[in-house]
Chains A and B, each alone.
Chain A
């Protein structure tokens, strides 16, 4: 009888841990829009996608390890998904000649992209800390963004960043005991291609393993919803400029 009680309480502890571990899973979508975009003073009908920064990291019992090959596949998949959902929102994705392969062959263009990325990094820390200030039109990269040739044909530049932690088998088992989750964060910023003002930021957080195994399923619907909320492309009230 006593043995039964001990094993029952042990089972209860395990069940509580498992439930706690699963209950703590959360998927979150957030968006921030500048007053210009919200008031339809500005509209986004065409974008130029700046090469993104995306990385998966393997998180094991002995620390972190890079996953270069998987990261590359993930980055390509995310880039395709973001672009296809932008198109679905009737946003024209301008052929930019700044895809990673094209940049390899054009060092001058590569330096311009680097310069614009550096400008973005300059505001990124504050943007991440105070995203609500986007509404107050607080952040700008300056009109230097016009140095990118594609900015001439687009309403906005799109910067996107993503990081994901992939747990190893051992870490997953351990995660039942200590709250460690497999998660990924995707951030997409829209920057005015003329003035450099930050127009909108979308943050999508995903937990579990779907973000790696099936990114379309993990992000597709969320992207559609967020694009609708920030009113770009077909969702905007302002007609496309001719």
Chain B
């Protein structure tokens, strides 16, 4: 063995270490120093109030195992973070089916149950958290607030001048358009169907707070992506998890009433390309790997909650996709099977996946129309009026019925299956069978089950209509 063959691996290793150190030093930008003024303290106070509102409304997931896990991932990312004035980092999961994550200026980082249900492993979660930590450490909330306040004064002056001058109004409007985007986001809260976290935050007036949930400026978001990659590497996570997570979010199963930063801003494909380029700089082999099954084992209760929330928010396709994922991980779990049957029943005349026409611009516009102009019942009625809608309805109902019956045959104590089957039969106008399933539910379900009153009423109504029906 000659000297050169001995030295070569050592040399390679040294180069590799040097490249990692160089990359890390590139990201090690010092945090900007912020001298707190009155508006900053007001914003800080509002951020603390939002935390309280979320807690008071029961929106925060309080399961200690889940909270502890998210905290541990967040704290790993904070290992080299110098203390920041007026910041206490907290990492929480919030009950909201909208796919999003956001950070408040006081250091509270929230990941929605919708996003948790979408991610695949711990590294991807770390990617999301490291992005949000950067928003806090670089004081994006405060900077955005100061910027907004200046713009608001300019807007007021222009409005005043326009009121006097009349003709200046158009110019003023153009000048203020950019500044108004956050305010428009706040206005959106009052008009459209939005996520629980956004609604609760929208109760506080600060448009900047709403902006911090919807997303900051392009530059600030890019900075958070870049810095997030550095932070992940320092904590030992593979930075490729960031583009992977972004790729997962580019999903179009149904119409989304809210497009948060995580779905659109800047265009997700650009962000995937940029973050992949940055993540490619260091060698991937030095990072630990994280499995999907470990992730699902930790977050299954949150995902189940989110599937239920999706079902009550007209996102049946998303609910079904997430349920299938849980079933692929644990096919024998009967509660997941019941959940899948519920998804098929809720789909009604809707197909489990969008067809090619729905993905076109016209299709998306049609979906939007159905979503905003029609109630859920009216949307189903429209779909059922078409032949393919009828066929789909039949298929979905068959899938639901078979799954419910299969669960009952395996475990007759699963009262949720009787409930679903009762609903299904009632929808199909199979009154006697529906009444029988409701009776079975009332027999098997615990005495304190919150659905009892509802089912008792349904059962009584069915009995009445059956006894009053003419017999031949």
Contact with A along B48-68 (1 / 0, CB 8 A): 010000001111001000000
Contact of B56 among A100, A122, A163 (CB under 8 A): A100
B62 closest partner in A (C-beta) = A107
Is A238's beta carbon under 8 Å from chain B? no
Contact with B along A124-167 (1 / 0, CB 8 A): 11101100000000111001101101011000000000010000
B151-159, B272-280, B293-301 - interface stretch = B151-159
Q: How far is the CA of A104 from the CA of B56 in the complex (A)?
A: 7
Is A103's beta carbon under 8 Å from chain B? yes
B378 closest partner in A (C-beta) = A138
Asked whether, in the complex, the Cβ of B203 is within 8 Å of the Cβ of A126, the reply is: no
Asked whether, in the complex, the Cβ of B56 is within 8 Å of the Cβ of A118, the reply is: no
Contact with A along B180-221 (1 / 0, CB 8 A): 000100100011110010010001111110000000000000
Is B164's beta carbon under 8 Å from chain A? yes
Contact of B159 among A113, A140, A163, A178 (CB under 8 A): A178
Q: How far is the CA of A116 from the CA of B434 in the complex (A)?
A: 24
Is A36's beta carbon under 8 Å from chain B? no
Contact of B193 among A65, A103, A125, A146 (CB under 8 A): A125
Determine chain A's interface SS by DSSP, over half rule.
helix
Q: Which residues does chain A contribute within 8 Å of B372, judged by CB atoms? A: 125-126
Is B450's beta carbon under 8 Å from chain A? yes
Asked whether, in the complex, the Cβ of A139 is within 8 Å of the Cβ of B375, the reply is: yes
Contact flag A122-B454 (CB < 8 Å), given A63-B206, A138-B375: no
Q: How far is the CA of A234 from the CA of B153 in the complex (A)?
A: 52
Q: Which residues does chain A contribute within 8 Å of B183, judged by CB atoms? A: 63
Q: Which residues does chain B contribute within 8 Å of A129, judged by CB atoms? A: 191
Asked whether, in the complex, the Cβ of A63 is within 8 Å of the Cβ of B207, the reply is: yes
Asked whether, in the complex, the Cβ of B156 is within 8 Å of the Cβ of A178, the reply is: yes
B84-92, B239-247, B307-315, B358-366 - interface stretch = B307-315
Is B465's beta carbon under 8 Å from chain A? no
Instruction: Kindly provide the distance from the CB of B142 to the nearest chain A CB, expressed in whole angstroms.
Output: 14
Contact of B156 among A115, A143, A174 (CB under 8 A): A174
Asked whether, in the complex, the Cβ of B160 is within 8 Å of the Cβ of A174, the reply is: yes
Is B148's beta carbon under 8 Å from chain A? yes
Instruction: Kindly provide the distance from the CB of A156 to the nearest chain B CB, expressed in whole angstroms.
Output: 15
Is A58's beta carbon under 8 Å from chain B? yes
Asked whether, in the complex, the Cβ of A57 is within 8 Å of the Cβ of B160, the reply is: no
Contact of A66 among B46, B57, B312 (CB under 8 A): B46
Contact of A62 among B152, B309, B373, B453 (CB under 8 A): B152
Asked whether, in the complex, the Cβ of A118 is within 8 Å of the Cβ of B163, the reply is: no
Asked whether, in the complex, the Cβ of A152 is within 8 Å of the Cβ of B58, the reply is: no
Asked whether, in the complex, the Cβ of A122 is within 8 Å of the Cβ of B46, the reply is: no
A53 closest partner in B (C-beta) = B203
Q: How far is the CA of A174 from the CA of B157 in the complex (A)?
A: 9
Contact flag A110-B58 (CB < 8 Å), given A62-B153, A126-B375: yes
Contact with A along B18-62 (1 / 0, CB 8 A): 000000000000000000000100100010010000001111001
Contact of A177 among B46, B164, B208, B451 (CB under 8 A): B164
Contact flag A58-B156 (CB < 8 Å), given A114-B59, A138-B375: no
Instruction: Kindly provide the distance from the CB of B192 to the nearest chain A CB, expressed in whole angstroms.
Output: 6
Q: How far is the CA of A222 from the CA of B451 in the complex (A)?
A: 37
Contact flag A128-B191 (CB < 8 Å), given A65-B42, A147-B450, A178-B163: yes
Contact flag A65-B46 (CB < 8 Å), given A55-B204, A178-B156: yes
Asked whether, in the complex, the Cβ of A64 is within 8 Å of the Cβ of B193, the reply is: no
Asked whether, in the complex, the Cβ of A123 is within 8 Å of the Cβ of B205, the reply is: no
Asked whether, in the complex, the Cβ of B58 is within 8 Å of the Cβ of A103, the reply is: yes
Contact flag A143-B458 (CB < 8 Å), given A65-B42, A114-B57, A114-B59: yes
Is B79's beta carbon under 8 Å from chain A? no
Asked whether, in the complex, the Cβ of B203 is within 8 Å of the Cβ of A178, the reply is: no
Is B386's beta carbon under 8 Å from chain A? no
A-B CB contact pairs (8 Å), 20 listed: A55-B204, A55-B205, A63-B207, A64-B206, A65-B42, A66-B205, A103-B58, A107-B62, A110-B57, A114-B59, A118-B196, A118-B309, A121-B199, A125-B193, A138-B375, A143-B458, A144-B454, A152-B453, A177-B163, A194-B457
Binding site for A on B (CB under 8 A): 39, 42, 46, 49, 56-59, 62, 95, 148-150, 152-153, 156, 159-160, 163-164, 183, 186, 190-193, 196, 199, 203-208, 309, 312-314, 372-373, 375-377, 450-451, 453-454, 457-458
20 further interface pairs, Cβ-Cβ under 8 Å (given A62-B150, A63-B149, A125-B191): A53-B203, A57-B205, A63-B152, A65-B46, A65-B206, A68-B46, A71-B203, A100-B56, A112-B450, A114-B95, A115-B312, A118-B196, A118-B312, A121-B199, A122-B376, A140-B375, A143-B457, A146-B453, A177-B160, A194-B457
Nearest 8 pairs between A and B by C-beta?
A: A57-B205, A64-B205, A66-B204, A146-B454, A110-B58, A62-B149, A63-B152, A55-B203
